[in-house]
Amino acid sequence: MFILAAAGSAVGLGNIWRFPFIAGDNGGGAFILVYLVCIFLIGIPIMMAEVLMGREVRSSPINTLRRLVTVSKASPAWILIGWMGVVAGFFILSFYAVIAGWAMDYVLVTAQGTFEGATSATASATFNSFLESPLQLMLWQTLFMIITVWIVARGVSGGLELAIRVFMPMLFILLVVMLGYSITTGGFGEATEFMFRFEWDRMGVEGVLAAMGQAFFTLSLGMGAIMAYGAYVPSQASVPGTVTIIAMLDTVVAIAAGLVIFSIVFANGLEPGQGPGLMFITLPLAFGQMPMGTLFGTVFFVLVSFAAITSAISLIEPALAFLVEEYNAVRSRVAISLGVITWVLGLGTVFSFNVWADVHLIGERTFFDLLDYLTNNIMLPLGGLLMGLFVGWVLPRKLVSEQLQMSSAALQAWFVAVRFIAPIGVATVFVYTILRGILG
């Protein structure tokens, strides 16, 4: 269940459209190879650090840091890692719910046959019209938050575990169905070449940094979600083994999603777009031009919605777990309260695409752009960097070795990764993105 939960946290919207595009745009197979190296040298070591902290204390991220700081006789300032992660997850959920609402809306829109025989202008107009309607965005944002709150309010076994038991197998089944269908479209060979060709000349520094950043962010590191889930990992479970399985599942989903998307795109003679344009304009257009496109388009957006829900659960759980522990509060009431606050904050993102589209808070960034930049480029990498340093340099080595149960050689290799390689890698991406944001 921990593997499914953590995989659900890691598998989200970024796997389905961001990973395929940046892989194809940065040398295909060359990017994927560098990405896998980064997964093993950066992602897995930091993920293991989060899991072992959670399992050692079996508490919320903030209280976990409190306890470990006491055990390590370290500065209380380290506790800020827990707070920053909880706040980052809370902020991310506020805009994630809005974007996920788009996918839910497109389940209905696609099922109605809106894109059958549609032109590029029609697909673009449909998406733009949707974004220009605050009421429509709020409707789907509200529905998504209600589903998320209902799940987490039911508790660990009745809510989280039950949802993951249903959603994750369904997600994998739908992905396999879509992958099988993509092989029949006629564009599978071109999609394979687009994603796996080794073009080192297109990799460059930008590509390496993109691979490092994707490896870190895709595993939901730095915000306490994995630490919170780690609190439920059985003592006899292998931390290195389970974390490696999660990383591989996440990567397989990303690659499979890429093959599905680009098979459909190339089969219809379309250009691969980027970001929301790929998922909400190019793909619906492609579905509308193929046999049984309405059915498979609907299935695709159901898959995206499932992925979004499993990620959203992990975003709200750290804050929820802390408040329930700290104040002995009723879980359902805390879930509803957090859901309402998140919903209100999310209105800033809703309005960023319509009535506040011309309102720029810092530079050219809208409310949504600023929140996205603050969390993904500052809070998460900084949180992951500090977690790696805390576990690698501050926690007692005996505590770490007892949790990981690795051979001395493997443990030493892990310490090298979590003390030096991962922090340097994350810091490089962190500094680069900050400078790029400042200098444009």
Per-residue pLDDT of the chain (440 residues; tens, 9 = 90+): 788 888 888 887 777 777 887 887 788 888 999 999 999 999 999 999 999 999 999 999 999 999 999 999 999 999 999 999 899 988 999 999 999 999 999 999 999 999 998 888 888 899 999 999 999 999 999 999 999 999 999 877 777 788 888 888 888 888 888 899 889 888 899 999 888 888 888 888 888 888 887 887 788 888 888 998 899 888 889 999 999 999 999 899 888 988 988 888 888 887 776 566 778 888 898 888 888 889 989 998 998 898 889 889 989 989 999 999 999 999 999 999 999 999 999 999 999 999 999 999 888 889 999 998 888 878 888 898 999 999 999 999 999 999 999 999 999 999 999 999 999 988 888 888 778 767 65
First to last CA, the chain: 43
Considering the entire predicted model, what is its pTM?
0.89
Burial class of residue 406 (count of CB atoms within 10 Å of its CB; 0-12, 13-18, 19+): middle
Q: What is the pLDDT of residue 290?
A: 81
Q: What is the dihedral of CA 60, 65, 71, 76, to 10 degrees?
A: -140
- List phi, psi (to 5°) of 362: -130, 120
DSSP notation for 373-407 = HIIIIIIHHHHHHHHHHIIIIIS-HHHHHHHH---
What does the DSSP 8-state code read for residue 270?
P
Q: Which CATH number is 125's domain given?
A: 1.10.4160
pLDDT of amino acid 94: 96
CB distance 236 to 403 below 8 Å? no
Show the tokens assigned to 79: 């506790």
pLDDT reported for residue 276: 64
Strand partners, 28: 198
Rounded to an integer, what is the distance from CA 334 to the centroid of its chain? 24
Query: Is residue 332 classed exposed, middle or buried when 0-12, 13-18 and 19+ CB atoms within 10 A define those classes?
Result: middle
Q: Which domain holds residue 88?
A: 2-439
Exposure string for 352-366, b = 16+ CB within 10 A, e = fewer: bbeebeeeeeeeebb
How many domains does one find in the chain?
1
